[in-house]
Amino acid sequence: MSIVHHTLILAQDGLTFPQMLGIGIGIIFGVLFLVFFAMFASVASLWFRAFMSGALIGPLQMVVMKLKRVNPHDIVDCRIMAVQAGLSQITTNAMESHYLAGGNVPIVVRSLIAAHRAKIDLDWNTAAAIDLAGRNVLEAVQTSVNTKVIDCPDPGRTGRSTLDGVAKDGIQLKARARVTVRTNLGQLIGGATEETIIARVGEGIVSAIGSCETHKEVLANPMLIARTVLNKGLDSQTAYAIVSIDIADIDVGDNVGARLQADQAEADVRIARAKAEERRAAAVAQEQEMRALTQENQAEVVLAESAIPEAMAAAYRTGKLRSAAKT
């Protein structure tokens, strides 16, 4: 309303429309300049620090950051770090986009600097994608430079302190291994984690022990297991590349073969006893059947003997016994 009011006053003073339009536009630009200057004043020190560091960021871009609700302190600090480290190709717009996407810009920039110093091939897009995937990209780069050692098994995760395998001679061996890995940046997104490495190495060690003819063969050359496991390519599709597998400790456990044989022998005895009891029960049943049959036959004999006097009496009555005697 104030601009319209001033325009009416100027119109009353006899100014033409183009003159009034130019004055109105000048007033608008003046107001915008004052707003811009007020916003830039809060980041002027950051702009000056970036300018003195050679990582120049335009004043307008600084103000736009505030309008986007991007923290200019983080962007300026990261831009200065990148330029001082020789990574001037990382643009401010890329940092702003990553910040607005919820990424950790300082971690990504520091990881790129570490990769650049270590001559590791890592670009901004890959590092930003790893960060947005929830992985610590700086830790991944550091693990690529300084290898990491993983205990297998890890008592804190599996609750077991040894890997138990049984050789072909039946002797149980308890082993512990230490796996040295470095980060595989190409597989960090979507690749399997430490748990998969531990599981695969554990399975490989148990399988390698089971393929040995005797437990003495393993005790004499523990690296035989390590070489066998390492040649299986257990780091496929994982976020790590296995550098080496070292058998930290190996002990002799129970004689599982003898125990299984003893259990089998005891089971065979129980089966034999059961079969013998079955045969005894069958014999007893058969004996009872024969006794019953004997009693039945004896009853038939008694019955037959009791019929003889009746037959003789009948023969006397009919005279057949006397006729036979005369004859």
Q: What is the overall mean pLDDT for the chain?
A: 79
- Encode pLDDT of 189-236 as tens digits: 777 788 888 888 888 888 888 888 888 888 888 888 888 887 888 778
Domains and CATH numbers, the chain: 42-145 (no CATH), 148-258 (3.30.479.30)
Query: So what's the pLDDT on residue 34?
Result: 59
Handedness of CA 172, 174, 178, 179 (dihedral sign): positive
- Encode pLDDT of 85-102 as tens digits: 888 888 888 898 898 888
Residue 127 identity (one-letter amino acid):
A
Pairing of strands 171-183, 163-166: antiparallel
At residue 9, does pLDDT exceed 80?
no
**pLDDT bracket for residue 40 (50, 70, 90):** low
Quick one: which H or E segment has residue 86?
Answer: none
Query: So what's the pLDDT on residue 324?
Result: 47
Residue 195 in contact with residue 219, Cβ under 8 Å? no
Confirm whether pTM is higher than 0.85: no
- Encode pLDDT of 110-165 as tens digits: 999 988 888 888 889 989 988 888 888 888 888 888 888 888 888 877 777 888 88
At residue 35, does pLDDT exceed 50?
yes
At residue 325, does pLDDT exceed 50?
no
